[in-house]
Amino acid sequence: MSRSLRVTLYGRPGCSLCDHAEQMLARIGRRIPLAVELVNIETDDALHRRYMFEIPVVAVGGTEVAKAPIYERALEETLAALVGR
């Protein structure tokens, strides 16, 4: 079995774009093994300052791979390439 790619989704409650990104990751996760961690930027001042105008942000291994606007096909291609490394 393939190891899951660890993906972090930075967002906040009440963010419809963040909810949409979470749904995208769930769909992509049906085709690519993903382990998604949701991080609420409202709980960390540094994250809030960094991402407040950019959420949702998707990161892998601490590297940002997508931020708003996020396009599902492009995100899936990026994640598939990372799994294939």
CA 30 remoteness from chain centre:
15
Q: At what angle do helices 72-83 and 16-28 cross, to 10 degrees?
A: 50
In this structure, what token pair is assigned to residue 69?
A: 């606007």
* 3 state DSSP class of 36: strand
10-residue averages of pLDDT along the chain (85 residues) = 87 98 98 97 98 98 96 98 84
pLDDT at 20: 98
**What residues make up the domain containing 79?**
5-83
Give the count of domains, the chain.
1
User: Which residues are paired to 5 by β-bridges?
Assistant: 34
DSSP code of 4? P
Which region, left, alpha or beta, applies to residue 41 given φ > 0 means left and ψ of -120 to 50 means alpha? Answer: alpha
- Residue 51 sits in a domain of what CATH number? 3.40.30.10
